[in-house]
Amino acid sequence: MVKDKGFVESREVIEGMLRGETLGFLGLSVDGRPYVVPLTYGYLDGRILFHGALSGKKLDCIRANPNVCFTVGRQRGKLVRHPQGARCHVANDSAICYGVARILEDVQERRTALQAFNRCLEPDAGEITFEAAAQCSAVEIKIAEMTGRRQQGSNYAFFRYEFGDKGARA
């Protein structure tokens, strides 16, 4: 189904891009200043999950402004030299997600999220103990909208999906 000119509504294609990578870039903004940080993540059921220290700039930014942007990309081919002024065509995929980040304060909820995060990265990962969950933070991004782009040669495909829950925007 075409949603806007050039965009095809496809949750599945974008989710495939998100599941296919483990390194993404979290975009935050506080007081008009952008902050982008690379991090390891897991994707599960319309949510981005990640963990980190119990305090720091990333968590401070999320507390101040939970509206975030998260992106992943991958190059699927070699960069080919091209004549001066010619268009550069490299096989690549990318996904951009917009949503609201929530720091999981409850240790049991954090433990559940950390287990899901670990299993996204390693399906046979062991259980996270309550003690281990208490030693780090966990953050969940509830995605409101995601877009994707796939380039193969000079052909581009653009994808968009909006989740029905408009409350996923703070």
Q: What CATH number does residue 152 fall under?
A: 2.30.110.10
Question: Is there a contact between 107 and 127 (Cβ–Cβ < 8 Å)?
Answer: no
| Residue 169 included in any domain | no
| Residue 107 included in any domain | yes
- The mean pLDDT values, 10 residues at a time, for the chain of 170 residues are 57 91 96 95 95 96 97 79 66 91 97 95 92 96 93 78 67
| Residue 36 included in any domain | yes
Query: What one-letter code names the amino acid at 74?
Result: R
The residues, ordered by sequence, that sit 6+ positions from 73 with a Cβ below 8 Å of its Cβ are 21, 92, 93, 94, 95
| Residue 69 included in any domain | yes
Query: What one-letter code names the amino acid at 45?
Result: D
pLDDT given at position 135: 96
pLDDT given at position 58: 96
pLDDT given at position 124: 92
| Residue 28 included in any domain | yes
pLDDT given at position 2: 37
Cα distances (angstroms) measured from residue 55 to each of 22, 52, 61, 86:
23, 8, 11, 47
Range of the domain at 75: 7-79+88-163
- Provide the Cα torsion 30, 140, 71, 121; round to 10°: 140
| Residue 128 included in any domain | yes
Tell me the pTM.
Answer: 0.84
| Residue 63 included in any domain | yes
| Residue 168 included in any domain | no
* Total domains present in the chain: 1
